[in-house]
Structure 1
Amino acid sequence: MCGIAGLIGYKGDTRNNILKMNERMLHRGPDSGGVYVSEDAKVAFGHRRLSIVDLSENGAQPMTSRSGRMVIIYNGEIYNAGEIRKKLDSALFRGTSDTEVLLEAIEHFGVSETLSMCKGMFAFAVYDKELQTVTFARDRVGEKPLYYGMVGDAFAFASDIGCLRVIEGFDNGINTDVLDIYFTEGYIPAPYSIYKNIYKLEAGTYLTVDVNTLRTETQAYWSMKDVALRGQKNPFRGTENEAADELERLLKESIKGQMVADVPVGAFLSAGIDSATVVSLMQSLDAGKVKTFTIGMDDPAFNEAVYAKEIAKHLGTEHTELYITEKDMKEVIPKLSFMFGEPFADSSQIPTYLVSRMTRDKVTVSLSGDGGDELFCGYTSYESISRIWGKMKNIPYFIRKPVSSIVLHSPLANKEIYRIKGTILGAKGPADIHRMEHETDPLTKKIALTKGSLPYKYTELPNDFLNEVNHETMLMDMLVYHPDDILVKVDRTAMAVSLETRVPMLDRDVVEFAWSLPINYLRDDKVGKKVLRDVLYRYVPREMMERPKKGFSIPIDKWLLEPELRDWAEGLLSKDKIRQQGILDADVVEKIWTDFTERGIYRIQIWYILMFQLWIEEEFR
């Protein structure tokens, strides 16, 4: 895993600016760095390397193809590089890196065909000197980041949005149109970013830039929506036990490929189904002891370490746990703005950073269980959305919509329960209910002074796209929440300490198989992830796993009332400061804060506002 950056058509000191971009993402690649500038200086690439496979100079980047025609910079891992390599002339290769395989495959098969062959996580840029194009691509699910856009008259790109900020001449203003989405969700979804004219390349797509004109063309090579629809139209026909057999086989194949590295590999382990399944299968494939890592907290309401330790002992892993204090977690907060480069407010970013830091002391690569909830119907919200939609779907929308409007404009809307019911009555489908979860409070819709009107992926699905409520909401999470929140959180916090994370459940074959499973193989009343549990219970006793999941929650609401953090928060929320910035409504922010401090009404948007203000302070320092 690494960091990539570059400029096309930059008129200033190209090399110096690439070096500055490289320095900004040093944490993504501490082992070495490199720069390539074309003879005409139109194309410049920068790379920071975290050495994982082929630690020699043969794996260094930027890398030029054997023929000299193409130059690549690449972040990620191609897990089936060995299979692709066999399709190419062995005389092409100087080393054993997957970078070299990817580069030579692109030259010989083209970008589109190479992407169809690749299984992995990646973001890359490849310069074709003959065609005078640079082509960028991002993996199917969005594990690896890539930002791009116009900075002045030049086309710029990077793994870390902060790299764009250091380019001489960068004056892209704040994209206030995204703030409505940010203050609803706590993150900024692709293709948008916090800056005007800067975008995130969407998962499963590639973009080609003409070096001479800077014209761009974007094309999808894989679609989560298409895979979901195809899977539901062609469902798995075997028994539940046969489904578990196939899932176990696919996960083992994925994990085996993702355990390949020339550096130490381990895994995050919580007390949950997902990480326990990954670790169980890792241990079954490893003749030695898998290294596992857990963080614990003194507060029993948030601590899973004791249960994770039981699982590790049962499986026989080499287990490391670290109990963290409130002080440890609070010390992370000032680092968050630099870490993410734009406003991001999933508060589990703090413990995720701490477990990554502890893990990096022992290994360079760590596998995680992310994706299990979204692919195998694990979230409890899926059951509640299904239940709510089941009660209202037979009432025609032309009746529900005016009733919704009447409720929301009546005195009943002063009470939260009626406001929620009134809002949900206006839902066109289950995906709409899912979207409305954070949109029932009229006060939080007024945080930003500018009202955005950007199209958003939550509105992309037609009603009854998959004809099954749970699958509808799972798909919305896989399109938006998972790539734009979960994967961003894991990538940025892990890379902040130079740790590569790998996610076996996001393997292409696992994802495509998961979408073929009927809902009764995934959920039974309030119990989700049935087929995943069936696999896990072959390795870990059922009674060891059947307990409530705590996740990586932290008591932000409690901390913010304590003197140290309260003073910090009130400094960021100063009415004069907010008015001077001219982005947020100072009166609304004050009302949200006093509702919390004086009336005990905690809104999740408080943390969203604080993370935005922390970013603003960093931005204009």
Structure 2
Amino acid sequence: MQLIGFLNNKNLIFNAKLFGNGFRSVIKDKEFNLYCDSTDSKEKLLYHSRKDIHLALFGYVASESHYSTGDLRDTLDAIIENYLVNGIKSFNSLDGSYIVILWDAHKNIIYIGRDIYGTKLLYFYFSPRSGFAFSNNLDILLRATGQRNISHKALHEYLRFLDISPPYTIYENTYFLEPDKILISDGRQITQQKISSQTINEIQRDGLLEDKAHNFKNILYQSIKKRIEKAQRVGVFLSGGIDSTLVCAIAARIKKDIKAYTVGFGDPRYDESKIARNITSYLGIEHQVFKFTIEEDYNVFNEFVTRISSPFADPAVIPTFQCFKHIANSVDIVLDGTGADSLIGIMPARHIRFILQYARYIPYKIRLFISNQLNKLHSISSYSSLFDFKKVVELLIRWQGWSEEEMSLLCNVRCDLSYTRFYRLFAEHSHKEPYELYSILIGALADDRQLQTAPLYDIDIAFPFWDRKVQEYVKNLPLKYKYHNGTSKILFRKLLEELIPTNIWDKPKHPFDYPFKNLLIYNDYKLPKLFLSRDVIKKQGFFDSFIVEKYLQKFLDGDDSIKFKIWALVVFQAWYFNHYQTY
């Protein structure tokens, strides 16, 4: 389902024929117009009005005990009533997976919100001259506004993080609504107001871990049940880790005919499909393992960069894209364990904890002196990395993309990432203990490869850990139920012990790592040589061709330490070519 809306937009004229689908009018007012396409989609745009209040809902919202589905007239009317009584604060009480568009024709003001977990995408464009427009599809919005200029600030964020987090997109004047914000506009200006997540109430009292696990089991059970009980064909992504195994085990108790999907690899260093296979064998559910060849990944790469609206280079996106492509006609909804890490928290590695608690407070010149002295002593030279960093925030970023200093040379302009969501959250919470700080930052890193790729195949994906009651229960637990004496996810582990024997799932686990280097070196480094050639870089004009050539040669000579930097450039260049055709 694609939707697009315009407010006070005299220069943006909507033409349904432009989009190739039959769009219909949902709200038509003197100042505001909302349209949606008439394609057959699993989710519909629902509309209700009362007097001068017009409400459109895409997705679903939660009532007291269940997700409202089917006839939502009563629910929509309740949302309008809540708005009339409480105003904008009414958005705080919504839960679910949704986009809510409320047009107050009396005030000539529009309010737009999406769920605080960001499961629905919402982009908007604003220009004082042209007005305000929004859509859940970036391509549709761009075609309506004609905006195609690349934002250099967003490009810098992409090069560092391999993705772009809200509120920015790769395009100038085109933004991605942050999930914890309400967008407010009268067409002449826009403002945003933070939504209260209402997850922290009062820290729970101590008690038996068994009791905490039992309570959590009931809450997570209900979260999963209300997402899948009406679906006929239910899938679940199973990596073999604690989070996805917990979701799979509970879902299997609700629906016996669910099917688990796992991406495996031929290289045993990355492959964990055997663990997943043992789990599904114990649960007695159907299981399919995808092991894509490097030839298949190479062939699908061009399709991937052609279909995405904005560049993102999460290394695992290629197998994720392939997986969605293969299951599109087999499921009505698929469950995913995303959100568990930031919910229960992660303790950073010991050396990061030392830096956060002690080393970062030592002046840089003194730290550099200590590092140099340690390097002179071979037996303890490995400790030099505890002191030779420039910015501690850089050490907390997931992937080794381009640093600010490297980007300044690459882009021939001074780069500063302080405006990004990650840097802003670090500045706001840097005083907190390592466990809490790192957990907040993990949640701030863009991790939406499923959300960006699932709509390409009209797949409904659900995240049981992104549920208000689940969030409230876990976040209000004392730390000892989350992390203690080097053991993480204690609550999850205790519950999983009740569902599946420990010897089946409690194995050494690493993050879902896709060996993307194999794709870069495939066929004699064809992708890097094609998209990073001197002529291509010069014609495109974003990067210094000498710097690119220097890094490319280092990679061709076998320097693996820069593979993330090369991957980021290759994905961007390939995306740019397919969307601009300038080479």
Same fold (TM over 0.5): yes
Tell me what 2:289 maps to: 321
1:305 and 2:305 aligned: no
Which stretch has the larger CA shift, 592-601 or 432-441? 432-441
Q: Which residue of 1 aligns with 2:251?
A: 282
- The TM-score, its normalising length taken from structure 2, stands at 0.87
| More displaced stretch, 143-152 vs 175-184 | 143-152
Aligned counterparts of 1:525 and 1:84: Cα–Cα separation in 2:
39
For 1:349 and 1:401, the matched residues in 2 are separated by: 37
Counterpart selection for 1:124 from 85, 100, 121: 100
- Overall identity of the aligned pairs, in %: 21
CA contact 2:8–2:32 (8 Å) conserved in 1: yes
- For the residues of structure 2 that align with 1:33 and 1:262, how far apart are their CA atoms? 27
- Supply the AA of the counterpart residue of 1:577: V
- Taking a change above 3 Å as real, the CA distance of residues 444 and 537 of structure 1, as seen in their structure-2 partners, is farther
* Structure 1 residues 52 and 164: CA distance shift in structure 2, 3 A: closer
Asked if 1:5 corresponds to 2:40, the answer is no
Q: Pick from 536, 540, 558: which aligns with 1:581?
A: 540
Q: Secondary structure at the match of 1:166?
A: helix
Query: Does 2:241 correspond to 1:242?
Result: no
Q: Is the 8 A contact 1:404 1:426 kept in 2?
A: no
Separation (CA, whole Å) in 1 of partners of 2:372 and 2:542 = 28
What's the secondary structure of 1:237's corresponding residue? coil
| Cα offset, 1:365, TM superposition | 0.8
Following superposition, the deviation at residue 538 of structure 1 comes to 0.9
Establish whether residue 104 from structure 1 lines up as the match of residue 77 from structure 2: yes
For the structure 1 residues 79 and 295, does the alpha-carbon distance in structure 2 shift closer, same or farther, using more than 3 Å as the test?
A: farther
Instruction: Name the amino acid aligned to 2:508.
Output: P
Write out per-residue CA displacement over residues 374-400 of structure 1, whole angstroms, 9 at most, x where no aligned residue.
22235xxx341x444336734682x33
- 1:221 lines up with 2:195 in the alignment: yes
Secondary structure of the residue aligned to 1:241 is helix
- State the TM-score, normalizing by the size of structure 1: 0.82
Point out where structure 1 has 5 or more consecutive residues left out of the alignment.
24-31, 54-59, 86-94
Counterpart of 1:208 (choices 147, 170, 184) is: 184
Give the counterpart of 2:529 among 558, 567, 570.
Answer: 570
Offset, 1:149: 1.7
Q: Displacement, 1:525?
A: 4.6
Counterpart secondary structure, 1:554: coil
User: 1:500: Cα distance to partner?
Assistant: 0.7
Deviation of 1:586 after TM superposition, in Å, equals 1.6
Question: What is the rounded CA distance, in whole Å, between the counterparts of 2:101 and 2:242 in structure 1?
Answer: 36
| Inter-partner Cα distance in structure 2 for 1:36 and 1:343 | 31
d(CA) in 1 for partners of 2:415 and 2:160?
12
**Distance in 2, Cα, partners of 1:392 & 1:500:** 40
- Rounded to whole Å, the distance in 1 between the matches of 2:398 and 2:269 is 28
- Aligned partner (choices 119, 123, 139) of residue 162 of structure 1: 139
The Cα shift of 1:171 comes to 3.6
1:176–1:452 Cα contact (<8 Å) kept: no
* CA positional deviation for 1:80: 3.4
1:512 offset after TM fit, Å? 2.5
Q: Which amino acid aligns with 1:14?
A: I
Q: Deviations over 1:142-189 (max 9, x none)?
A: 22211112266131211222222212x514521102233221111111
Match of 1:434 in 2: 396
**CA positional deviation for 1:562:** 2.2
Match of 1:137 among 101, 113, 137: 113
Distance in 2 (CA, whole Å) between partners of 1:493 and 1:102 is: 30
Please state if 1:367 is matched with 2:350.
no
CA pair 114-283 structure 1, distance change in 2 beyond 3 A: farther
In structure 2, the gaps of 5 or more residues are: none
Write out per-residue CA displacement over residues 516-564 of structure 1, whole angstroms, 9 at most, x where no aligned residue: 2333322345442121111111111111112233543222212322226
Structure 2 residue aligned with 1:270: 239
Distance of aligned partners of 1:504 and 1:445 in 2 relative to their CA distance in 1, 3 Å threshold = farther
Structure 1 position 47, deviation (Å): 4.2
Write out aligned runs for 1:594-605 (5 A): 594-603=553-562, 604-605=564-565
**SS of residue matched to 2:125:** strand
| Secondary structure in structure 1 of the residue aligned to 2:457 | coil
Structure 1 position 459 matched with structure 2 position 459: no
Distance 2:171 2:429 in 1: 35
Decide whether the 8 Å contact of 1:52 with 1:262 is kept in 2.
Answer: no
Report what 1:390 is aligned to. Answer: 354
**C-alpha root-mean-square deviation of aligned residues, in Å?**
3.4
Equivalent residue number for residue 513 of structure 1: 473
2:3·2:34 contact (CA, 8 Å) conserved in 1?
A: no
Of residues 181, 187, 202, the one that matches 2:157 is 181
One-letter amino acid of the counterpart of residue 401, structure 1: Y
Q: SS state of the match for residue 491, structure 1?
A: helix
Deviation at 1:97, TM superposition (A): 3.9
1:437 is displaced (CA, Å) by 7.0
Q: Secondary structure at the match of 2:488?
A: coil
Structure 1 residues 39 and 7: alpha-carbon distance in aligned structure 2, compared to 1, 3 A threshold: closer
Q: Distance in 2 between matches of 1:22 and 1:242?
A: 56
* Cα-to-partner distance string for 1:207-264 (whole Å, 9 max, x where unaligned): 1221xx43223111225xx85xx46x73552232222222212211211111143553
